[in-house]
């Protein structure tokens, strides 16, 4: 484990266990997981398909309930709070990037990015959203709807939405899983660049060993347990010319990506689950400050 003594911890996971019951009986999908992530650290979560990585992100975001154990975000125990309290943490601390983009189809690009700011009643929501879309190379696509945008453009809108609030913690679930290789490389470079510039902590779930190797630390999950906790001896960005520059996108500079442990649930989410996740994540009713 890395020495976090000089760096404040952003994530603390202690004894996290998740069990479900189906027709065959009780199944333990996450077993007594412990790890910590210092603020600004970079950590990739890897494991076989179905290992539960996406569900773990739900637990880190306070959108699922563990059977036992604790998740502390910036010193606050998520599961000592009620749902209103967890929603307040999501509003103030978290950003999320989904594999399947999860833009709201009836909103334009700028309106999608404005959404988390509007939930905070930010009077500068439009100005900040337009600036962030410009940072991801979409200043000419502000008023386009998702159906008129490519996959790479939609994921850049999703990145802008995730980063526009300057979150302390960004959770990314296979952010290139729906993209071709070249577009995925550009999106990952952009995500790392933005993260370094804004100083967020990024929890990144990936099946791609090349993406995982860009993080300072990797947790490998098997059978619901952390089986390998390894450090990378390389900088977060190893490409001298980022793909975003090659693609003609504005280059910011960015870093980090921490992550968590394991769970066994269908991955990726199905559409209904994804949209419920988005609805919960951006639920406005209990987010007034």
pLDDT in tens, the chain (289 residues): 555 556 799 999 999 999 989 888 998 888 899 999 999 888 899 988 778 777 787 899 998 999 999 999 999 999 999 999 999 999 899 998 888 888 999 999 999 999 999 988 999 999 999 999 999 999 999 999 999 999 999 999 999 999 999 999 999 988 888 888 888 898 899 888 888 888 899 888 988 899 999 888 998 888 888 888 888 754 444 443 333 333 333 322 222 333 333 322 333 333 334 444 454 555 433 333 2
C-beta separation of 149 from 158 below 8 A: no
Pairing of strands 68-73, 9-22: antiparallel
Residue 191 located in a structural domain: yes
Residue 73 located in a structural domain: no
Backbone angles phi, psi at 12, to 5 degrees: -130, 120
Residue 218 located in a structural domain: yes
Residue 7 located in a structural domain: no
Residue 104 CA: distances (Å) to CA of 148, 161, 247, 264, 282: 13, 11, 26, 28, 11
C-beta separation of 233 from 215 below 8 A: no
Residue 32 located in a structural domain: no
Residue 254 located in a structural domain: yes
C-beta separation of 244 from 190 below 8 A: yes
Residue 126's domain comprises 39-59+82-281
Report the number of distinct structural domains present in the chain: 1
Residue corresponding to tokens 């099946």:
207
Residue 11 located in a structural domain: no
The encoded tokens of residue 63 equal 């959108």
Q: What is the tally of helices (H) and strands (E) in the chain?
A: 9, 10
Dihedral angle, C-alpha 276, 280, 282, 284, nearest 10 °: 120
Residue 130 located in a structural domain: yes
CATH number at residue 214: 3.40.50.300
- Taking the C-alpha atoms of residue 112 and residue 153, their distance in angstroms, rounded to an integer, is 13
168: which DSSP letter?
S
């Amino acid at each position: 484990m890395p020495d976090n003594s000089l760096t404040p911890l952003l994530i603390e996971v202690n004894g996290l266990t998740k069990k479900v019951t189906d027709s065959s009986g009780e199944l333990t999908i996450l077993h007594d997981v412990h790890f910590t992530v210092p603020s600004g650290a970079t950590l990739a979560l890897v494991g076989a398909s179905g290992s539960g990585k996406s569900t773990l992100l739900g637990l880190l975001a306070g959108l699922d309930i563990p059977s036992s154990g604790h998740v502390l975000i910036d010193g606050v125990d998520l599961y000592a709070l009620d749902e209103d309290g967890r929603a307040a943490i999501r509003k103030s601390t978290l950003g999320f990037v989904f594999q399947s983009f999860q833009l709201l189809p009836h909103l334009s690009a700028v309106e999608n990015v404005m959404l988390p700011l509007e939930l905070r009643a930010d009077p500068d929501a439009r100005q900040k959203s337009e600036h962030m879309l410009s940072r991801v190379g979409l200043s000419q696509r502000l008023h386009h709807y998702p159906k008129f945008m490519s996959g790479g453009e939609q994921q850049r809108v999703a990145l802008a939405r995730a980063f526009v609030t300057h979150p302390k913690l960004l959770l990314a679930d296979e952010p290139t899983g729906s993209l071709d290789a070249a577009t995925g490389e550009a999106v990952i470079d952009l995500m790392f660049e933005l993260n370094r510039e804004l100083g967020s902590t990024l929890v990144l779930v990936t099946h791609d060993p090349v993406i995982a190797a860009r993080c300072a630390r990797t947790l490998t999950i098997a059978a619901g347990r952390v089986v390998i906790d390894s450090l990378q001896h390389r900088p977060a960005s190893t490409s001298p010319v980022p793909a975003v520059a090659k693609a003609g996108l504005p280059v910011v500079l960015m870093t980090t990506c921490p992550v968590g442990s394991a769970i066994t649930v269908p991955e990726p989410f199905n559409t209904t689950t994804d949209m419920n996740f988005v609805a919960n994540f951006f639920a406005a009713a209990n987010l007034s400050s």
